[in-house]
Amino acid sequence: MAQRIESDERLAITYRLTISDGRSPEDHARDLAVEQSVEIPFECIPDEITDRGIVGRVESIAPVPNQEKVFEVVISYRSDNTAFSVPQFINVIYGNISMKRDITVTGLDLPPLLLEAFGGPTFGIEGIRAITGVFKRPLACTALKPIGLSLKKLASMAADYARGGLDLLKEDHAMADLAYHPFAERIARCQEAIMRENASSGHNMLYFPMISGGFDEIEKQAEIVKSNGCKGVLIAPFLIGADLIRVLSRRHNLIVMTHPAMTGAYYCDPSHGITMEVLMGTIFRVIGADISIFPNAGGRFSYTAQECRNVGEALRRPLGKLKPAFPCPAGGMTLDRMAAMAENFGSETVLLIGGGLMQQSSDLAKSAATFMEAIEQHFEN
């Protein structure tokens, strides 16, 4: 991934600073720019480093309207400061300053060279639609859970969801290589049940197992997924490492659905972190996510409808030559929320209802079919 090239193309990062120590916004901005690039005292920076533009550069400082002591600061960095690698890219955006208070990343302006280096989604919306054969409506998805069930029961549930006509079945993010249902056998049993049901019903539900092994297990798990005919995987980038998106997408040619576990530490505090839009929208898309799950308004998590719409827009808006990715609003969604989700996010969306389908009926195939009917009726109208 890393490219040994030099480039003075710059990426610009917008930060929102909340100042409470009496220092000027200019001082804060300069310190931030240095911290995120050369990390030495300002007066010790060699002229040659400054002349080559390697130090972060403060581009603008502006007060945020109607917010006392809050400023929007734009700082640019040379693209090659990222080494064109996922870990260093994230490090440049928010590495050391994540340990400081009251700094929020609210925007990224990425130059063509950086976008080309990361490449974005391998499949994206168009590629996933081609595989599923669904082109005019949102994709319907549910989750295989809970942990602790027998392999027989999990396979039966998977078959029921396929019989009901769902498009995608992703595993719960807690569905690791557990003693209750070991990874290899679980994937084989569930995928076999799905393929059998797809053949019988004429449906084409895809199954995305959760990859969550240690570093020395990831390749083996990916090979197990592929050998069983699965087209994609679920991963939690902030549990297993964000660069795994790229590895699974490029090396293994798998659709990558990302789960937001642990990301909440970055956006629950509005005065500190990385906004949902930037993290699960722009960053995850740039580094290769095809589908990005995020907590939606109106469910178990307390985010506004606008915050969630912003994530969807970041995943789909024009961004160089990158393919748009599917937003997947989730987190306690139910069938009575389906119309609102469809209204908020439109047809280019994966609608995920997990436990809500289990609540709807003990007959999971019936619940899945009801979900599909609701989507089809809404988008026919």
Q: Which range of residues forms the domain containing residue 114?
A: 10-118
| Residue (of 76, 54, 64) closest to 25 by Cα position | 64
Helices (H), 11-147: 25-35, 47-51, 86-94, 112-118, 124-132
CA torsion through residues 329, 332, 338, 340, sign? negative
Residue 1 domain-assigned? no
Residue 359 domain-assigned? yes
Residues 212, 109 within the same domain: no
In this structure, are residues 305 and 276 in contact, taking their beta carbons and an 8 Å threshold? no
In this structure, are residues 281 and 309 in contact, taking their beta carbons and an 8 Å threshold? no
Last-in-domain residue among 53, 84, 118: 118
| Residues 286, 280: Cα–Cα separation, whole Å | 10
Residues 195, 71 within the same domain: no
Residues 324, 269 within the same domain: yes
pLDDT in tens, 2-51: 555 667 799 999 999 999 999 999 999 999 999 999 999 999 999 999 99
Ordered DSSP codes for 176-240 = -SBTTB-HHHHHHHHHHHHHHHHHHH----EEEPBP---TTTHHHHHHHHHHTT--EEEE-HHHH
Per-residue pLDDT of the chain (381 residues; tens, 9 = 90+): 455 566 779 999 999 999 999 999 999 999 999 999 999 999 999 999 999 999 999 999 999 999 999 999 999 999 999 999 999 999 999 999 999 999 999 999 999 999 999 999 999 999 999 999 999 999 999 999 999 999 999 999 999 999 999 999 999 999 999 999 999 999 999 999 999 999 999 999 999 999 999 999 999 999 999 999 999 999 999 999 999 999 999 999 999 999 999 999 999 999 999 999 999 999 999 999 999 999 998 888 879 999 999 999 999 999 999 999 999 999 888 898 888 888 899 999 999 999 999 999 999 999 999 999 999 998 876
Domain of 183, CATH number, reads 3.20.20.110
pLDDT in tens, 179-202: 999 999 999 999 999 999 999 999
Last-in-domain residue among 103, 118, 133: 118
Residue 31 domain-assigned? yes
Residues 112, 138 within the same domain: no
Last-in-domain residue among 118, 134, 156: 118
Q: What domain count does the chain have? A: 2
